[in-house]
Structures are given as structure tokens and as C-alpha cells.
Amino acid sequence: MTERKGSGLQTDLSDQIAIVTGASQGIGKACAIELARNGAKVACIARSVDKLAEVVQEIEAEGGEAAAFTCDVCDGTSVQATIDAVIEKWGQLHILVNNAGITKDGLMVRMSDADWDAVINTNLRGTFLFARAASILMMQSRYGRIINMTSVSGLVGNKGQTNYSASKAGMIGMTRSLSRELAKRKVTINAVAPGFIESEMTKVLGDAIISEVKKNVPANRLGTPEDVAAAVLFLASSAASYITGHVLTVDGGMTA
């Protein structure tokens, strides 16, 4: 792999079709752009089409190919319709990046049933629905890459994020279990666990809190969406064909 614009990695994903959920901003957007830069045709998926259109335009401006699809990842009918639409457009599916996720933070004793259900349904159920639908196609073609976006919170927990941490830990368990079911069909499934990543969410914390956060990160900086996209690109590549059921942390050494 050689240096190039983007993450600094390069691989050949030409003639491959990728789905990225939660592709309208942040990590999902970076993953969609990085996969497209390396030749994949990318289905960018989110609830709202407005921001997705900007991502598609950015990919096309660089010579890539992408399309926007709206989907409620919590709804099985909507997920299957989206998968069907991608197949109708491009004929195949090779890569799935399950990135769609939400937070509704709060101490558990004050957490409402609605906030628990919303996070579990979006983060965990949504991953299950897309992985199930995609894995059927991938097993039939005897090739596939599924990459689930979990979090260091799913590894070590985080105060005020019981629902989020549970959903991300569940994604890790799902990844490891499903890897055992799919390996013989040449379908790999791995998880990427980001730490503190620069985003709209971290910007609102303010400089003082971000400074404290950095003290807990051996790399002494926040990660970028491109750092995470590089890990996703590697796991989607042929170089990772013997890696499955793995959780790759991208956290600057937080969980070392």
C-alpha cells in the first residue's frame, strides 16, 4: 500500500459494492469517502437524504461513484428494501460497514425506558438487521466483508452510557459469534472500536474538557474520522482475508 489522498492507505476495491450506514457525517462519511477513493461503489445510508446528497457529491467530485438511500435501520422491512435497492442498482454486495448509531446519555437510575430502547434498537438491532440481510447475499457469492463500528465504551464501559456501552458490547459479541458462522463461506466480520474521535459531539465539550480527555490518551490527541476510516479500509481489503472475529481498537492507546 502506498501513500495517497485520504487515510494514507491504498487498495483495489474496483468492481466492489459497499454499504455504509450512518454515512451522512463523521466517521460514516469518512468511511464512505475512503472506500470510494479506493474504487468501491458506495451506497450511503442514513435517515435524512439532505446530508447524504453532500457526501455523494463529494465522492463524485473526486471521480468516485455513490448513491444515497434513506433507511430506518431499526425496521427490518426498511432494511431489506434498502438492500434490495442496492442490488437492483449495482447487482452485488461485497462490503457492509455498520456505522449508524446514536447516544442518549444519562445515569442509569434516571434513564428512561425510551432512551434505553432507542439506543439498543438503533445501535444493536440495526447492526443485526443489516448484517443478517447482507450475510445471506455474501454467503451465496462466497465473499464478503462486514465491519461493525463499536466503541471502546463497549470494551471498558463509561459512566452515563449504560445503554450505549451495552449496545456496543453486544455488537462485539455479535461480531465474534457471526464470524464463526460465516468463515467457511469466505465472509469475514470484524469490529472497529474508536476511542475519542474529533466530531460535532466532541466540539461541544469545550477546550477544558477536551484537554482533560487528552491526558487519558497516550497519543495525546483525539483521533480523526480518517483514522477510523483507515482501519475500515484495511479490514475491507484482501490483505485482511485471514482476519475475522477481531476487534480493532483505534483509540491512541487508551485501552492498551
3-class DSSP assignment, residue 56: helix
State the pLDDT at residue 78. 98
The percentage of residues in the chain with a pLDDT greater than 90, rounded to a whole number, is 87
Q: Specify the CATH superfamily of domain 17-197+225-247.
A: NAD(P)-binding Rossmann-like Domain (3.40.50.720)
C-alpha cell at 33: 469517502
What is the residue-averaged pLDDT of the chain? 94
State the pLDDT at residue 7. 66
User: 140: phi > 0 → left, psi -120 to 50 → alpha, else beta; which?
Assistant: alpha
Does the pLDDT at position 201 exceed 90?
Answer: no
232, amino acid identity: V
- Phi, psi of 102, deg, nearest 5: -135, 165
pTM of the model: 0.95
181, amino acid identity: E
Does the pLDDT at position 58 exceed 60?
Answer: yes
State the pLDDT at residue 6. 67
- Edge-to-edge strands, sheet with 187-194: 65-70, 41-46, 17-21, 95-98, 144-149, 187-194, 247-250
Nearest to 195 by CA among 253, 131, 237: 253
Q: In which band, very low, low, confident or very high, does the pLDDT at 2 lie, cut at 50, 70 and 90?
A: very low
Q: Are the beta carbons of 131 and 98 closer than 8 angstroms?
A: yes
Give me the mean pLDDT over the 133-146 stretch.
98
Q: Is the dihedral of CA 55, 33, 124, 101 positive or negative?
A: negative
Residue 164 is among the residues annotated as catalytic for this protein = yes
Looking at residue 110, what DSSP letter applies? G
Nearest to 67 by CA among 45, 43, 86, 88: 43
Between 2 and 248, the higher pLDDT residue? 248
- Cα(6)–Cα(12) distance, integer angstroms: 15
Give the pairing type, strands 95-98 and 144-149.
parallel
Q: What is the pLDDT of residues 15-27, one digit of tens each?
A: 999 999 999 999 9
Q: Which of 128, 130, 164, 196 is catalytic?
A: 164
